[in-house]
Amino acid sequence: MKSIEHICVMCGHKEKEGIFIQGGFICDDCEEDIVHTEVEDEKYHYFVQQLKQLWLKNA
């Protein structure tokens, strides 16, 4: 059986493994980055914006 690739809303890469949040796919690598990113990190605000867009899209 062929695995389906999804496009990650955080990095834009096609991946097979990850999670869906509010209809958006987040790959395992980005999920790991999100979980371990400190508030002071520059990436934190990017992740918040991307997640906010998912929530607003489905509101």
Cα distances (Å, whole numbers) of residue 44 to 3, 6, 18: 30, 23, 19
Structural contact between residues 48 and 41, judged by C-beta atoms closer than 8 angstroms: no
The pLDDT of residue 58: 76
Residue 9 within a domain: no
Give percent above pLDDT 90 in the chain: 83
The residue among 8, 13, 18, 5 whose CA lies nearest residue 51 is 8
Residue 19 within a domain: no
The pLDDT of residue 37: 97
Residue 6 within a domain: no
Backbone angles phi, psi at 41, to 5 degrees: -70, 145
**pLDDT tens per residue across span 44-59:** 999 999 999 998 987 6
Domain span holding position 42: 27-59
Residue 48 within a domain: yes
Instruction: Give the predicted TM-score (pTM) of the model.
Output: 0.86
Asked whether residue 39 carries a pLDDT value surpassing 90, the answer given is: yes
Residue 50 within a domain: yes
Distance, in Å, from the CA atom of 46 to the CA atom of 35, rounded to the nearest integer, reads 13
Distance, in Å, from the CA atom of 40 to the CA atom of 19, rounded to the nearest integer, reads 25
Q: Tally the domains of the chain.
A: 1
